[in-house]
A and B are shown apart, each in its own frame.
Chain A
Amino acid sequence: MATGVSVENINPKVLRCEYAVRGEVAIHAQHLQQQLQTQPGSLPFDEIVYCNIGNPQSLGQKPITFFREVLALCNHPNLLEREEIKSLFSTDAIARAKKILSMIPGRATGAYSHSQGIKGLRDEIAAGIASRDGFPANADDIFLTNGASPGVHMMMQLLIRNNRDGIMCPIPQYSLYSASLALHGGALVPYYLDESSGWGLEVSKLKNQLEDARSKGITVRALVVINPGNPTGQILDEQQQYELVKFCKDEELVLLADEVYQENIYVTNKKINSFKKIARSMGYNGDDLQLVSLHSVSKGYYGECGKRGGYMEVTGFSTPVREQLYKIASVNLCSNITGQILASLIMDPPKAGDASYDLYEEERDNILKSLSRRAKAMESAFNSIDGITCNKTEGAMYLFPRIYLPQKAIEAARAVNKAPDVFYALRLLDTTGIVVTPGSGFGQVAGTWHVRCTILPQEEKIPSMISRFREFHEEFMSQYRD
């Protein structure tokens, strides 16, 4: 007879799955936030500062005006028949909305679309990709998804047959990959980024990890690369990218390129190249390399996390495999239309000469410059604290400082059954209201401890945040000094 549902009888893969970004520390923060509302003054701080998640608009970043104008018009097309809108919406937003509506069969923005997304929008995205890379892109290679995450899940589901199928992931990695692997029952084959060389990677090390996994009977199916890196913030050199492409080609691995931070770059000595561009520039054609490139509307300067827009560009797979991918996409019918529209807008934003261009450019540049300033300020701050070192953030939205925890702190953590960086992060939260994600959530070299802190709090809040962090850290270290 079936017994009631309990944690003992649910899918063990669910139990094994972890997602620290919204895990224990974040959950505790939400309790404290409620406490601040119901009992003001009961805590040593008066606000929770969420630095745990790449969610820019939750911390004051404004959406791009042009994008929201287009969305509003597409969501309520009746507006396009009214004279009054000319004083409320820019002319190019009106024109863009009309163009988008004409691509949608019946102008029905409430209908399920093609399971890969509206064809006209995919055409625009393909054009945007081609314009970015200088190599052609095909609308039929694009699958629009609710954010980039569902695309990752689809690929994991497709590639993982059993627990002997492995996926190479950078350590540290954005914990969607480890979570998805756990849920699909695959093996995570780690390759370690080198903290001492700016989170660099060496292909020889990749090869060691690959062979090691194979010797244990793991069939390694794909390699995940996150560029710019999350949580690590490094941007790969072109040379590294060439080597990675060659490695995947030689070892017949699918290259899963997470490029969601492609518009978040804060240094002038590096450039972001898509892996597709790199592969094509090396002479690898469509059929030569199995490549999945992921993008999202959640990051960049647009930060539209809640709209759940994104896509994967899938190249190098045979037709029968693509049909299977299409089949999985069709089970959930299609991604949300608002997100689809946003994905096309970010890949084809206003151009010089367009009515909205000046405002768009100003909004975009202000956001990116501010992110760059905040990245630097917080990086310097962390590096100025004794017992913390922090690599430069070249891109993405995070800092991943290393915390040199004294042995006493490590023991205190173990005594309460917590990983030392979780223990540290909880104490930080309880003392200052600052929420970070413990490094254990991303993976790290054994015996090292980190926290991931976003660069997203508003600029004017950063000085006080930094001083509170420093104060907490100094007290913590002196409490647990060896």
Chain B
Amino acid sequence: MAAPSVAVDNLNPKVVLNCEYAVRGEIVIHAQRLQQQLQTQPGSLPFDEILYCNIGNPQSLGQKPVTFFREVIALCDHPCLLEKEETKSLFSADAISRATTILASIPGRATGAYSHSQGIKGLRDAIAAGIASRDGYPANADDIFLTDGASPGVHMMMQLLIRNEKDGILCPIPQYPLYSASIALHGGALVPYYLNESTGWGLEISDLKKQLEDSRLKGIDVRALVVINPGNPTGQVLAEENQRDIVKFCKNEGLVLLADEVYQENIYVDNKKFNSFKKIARSMGYNEDDLPLVSFQSVSKGYYGECGKRGGYMEITGFSAPVREQIYKVASVNLCSNITGQILASLVMNPPKAGDASYASYKAEKDGILQSLARRAKALENAFNSLEGITCNKTEGAMYLFPQLSLPQKAIDAAKAANKAPDAFYALRLLEATGIVVVPGSGFGQVPGTWHIRCTILPQEEKIPAIISRFKAFHEGFMAAYRD
């Protein structure tokens, strides 16, 4: 009997039914259509540009790459340049020497070859040195797996840890939906722990413990805990005390700690500091073998914003050699991550230092970007809080605001009638009225009965007043239309 040809009802249900990724979901797809409409029929919409505030993609909204990083990559892409005199007038001296060093660490200087499946050894050494310098505790190049962005590392760990639907992963709610999507694709159970909006998205260990016990009672074998620090979408930076409690919790309960630290260089408040979970664990006296910990970093965020280059790594500590061999094996099936991304990861963890030729311009670029991000975070946070029916927690870090919408019952009813989640309904109406694209809170998870949207802090500073006023006008109109 011939197999039925491929249709949605005979695809892998984990893909069709369970996996969602709102960051590029329905709202965004609609925005892309409206963008095309603006091109083919100018003037046909009540706005003349789409403002993508749905995705942490800084360079798409005008942020420039760090010059030193791009100089190094260009030289590594086309090493012939290093033999030419003219190169000295086009590239800074330290970019030339860094590219030379990097090329020397690549067998045969072949930037087009598959590398070691964990990434080029010399680059992993540089990253390990950068980690040690950041934390004050040693790091090992053999613990590092360079990946195409941080996401593939998350998938690898989910694939490793999830055997069946009774294997659970504790995830913060709200969470970056890579986690829910990946758990769904691998057929596991997402065990939620709720961040507390009223205490700045704080987490309580007692709540973690309760969720863990509840799920165990239901027969779920909870294997790991995901922590995103700084938080996405919530933007909080964990207090050290909180971090220690989390480490202790994972240790006591035998959980792998999956620490998503991709926003480690996006901190906008003076009263908090980023501490890696590895540093916290080591400072508590937990050695290598005491705690299975996976720490994720990426070149997509920070002040570098190199999303499209797909660079990142996971640092894996506390797993036995046989388990590490399995991780290596999975990494080897796809051979290696892209070399440009590998190089960028090493540059991010080992940037120009005081005294280097590029240092002054590097520092100016970095500080300019980070200060601007901090200003924009504040401006948008204030703006949201000034609107009636919206409250917004402070964004201490990352790149997002996650304001809560107090939607009137009439709006909720209208949404249900249109078969949409109320925040999706709101976001769609926002898009159609203003061209502003945000992601509905349902895409991240939220306490039932609460509604949010995630809006990035990334539009250019000069556009922000106009965005705020258009948002305000829309919101007031929406609330008036659906006033109870």
Contacts and interface: CB of A to CB of B under 8 A. Distances in A.
Given A65-B80, A110-B59, A336-B310, A76 B11 contact: no
Contacts of A108: 59-60, 308
A57 B112 contact: yes
A253 B3 contact: yes
A335 B310 contact: yes
Interface in B268-289: none
Contact of B308 (A19, A112, A305): A112
Interface in A9-34: 9-15, 17-19, 21-23, 30
Which residue among B110, B254, B320 has the maximum number of chain A CB atoms within 10 Å of its CB?
Answer: B110
B107 interface: yes
B85 to A, nearest CB: 9
Given A68-B77, A331-B182, A318 B110 contact: no
B239 interface: no
A179 B333 contact: yes
17 contacts: A2-B254, A4-B292, A7-B323, A7-B326, A11-B162, A14-B326, A17-B329, A23-B329, A63-B112, A68-B77, A109-B59, A110-B308, A149-B334, A252-B2, A318-B8, A324-B16, A327-B21
Given A2-B254, A5-B223, A11 B77 contact: no
Contacts of B58: 111
A252 B4 contact: yes
A482 interface: no
Interface of A: 1-7, 9-15, 17-19, 21-23, 30, 53, 55-60, 63, 65, 68-69, 71-73, 75-76, 78-79, 82, 84-85, 87-88, 105-106, 108-113, 115, 146-147, 149-150, 153, 157-161, 176, 179-180, 183, 214, 219-221, 250-254, 290, 298, 303-308, 317-318, 320-321, 324, 327-328, 330-339
Given A10-B163, A12-B163, A22-B335, 14 more contacts: A10-B323, A13-B159, A17-B333, A53-B114, A71-B77, A84-B89, A111-B307, A112-B300, A214-B1, A252-B4, A306-B112, A307-B340, A317-B6, A328-B185
B318 to A, nearest CB: 9
A14 B185 CA distance: 15
Interface in B80-106: 80-81, 84, 86-87, 89-90
A159 B254 contact: no
B40 interface: no
Contacts of B3: 219-221, 251-253
A376 B67 CA distance: 48
Contacts of B300: 112
Contacts of A75: 70, 73-74, 77, 340
A72 B77 contact: yes
Interface stretch (B130-138, B147-155, B350-358): B147-155
Contact of B338 (A9, A303, A307): A307
A400 B360 CA distance: 56
A293 to B, nearest CB: 16
A24 to B, nearest CB: 10
B256 A1 contact: no
Interface string B303-324: 0011111100000000110110
B62 interface: yes
B151 A332 contact: yes
B447 interface: no
A338 B338 contact: yes
B253 interface: yes
Contact of B178 (A109, A110, A331, A335): A331
Contacts of A298: 114
Interface in B144-193: 148-149, 151-152, 155, 159-163, 178, 181-182, 185-186
Given A11-B162, A111-B308, A318-B7, A333 B151 contact: yes
B162 to A, nearest CB: 6
A88 B81 contact: yes
Contact of A161 (B11, B21, B74, B159): B11
A176 B77 CA distance: 28
A17 B163 CA distance: 14
B236 interface: no
Contacts of B6: 159, 221, 254, 290, 317-318, 321
A63 B108 CA distance: 12
Interface in B333-348: 333-341
A58 B254 contact: no
Nearest to B167: A11
Contacts of B90: 79, 82, 84-85, 88
Nearest to B62: A106
Interface string B215-248: 0100001110000000000000000000000000
B198 interface: no
Contacts of A306: 110-115, 336, 338-339
Contacts of A176: 333
Contact of A112 (B10, B55, B77, B292): B55
B453 to A, nearest CB: 19
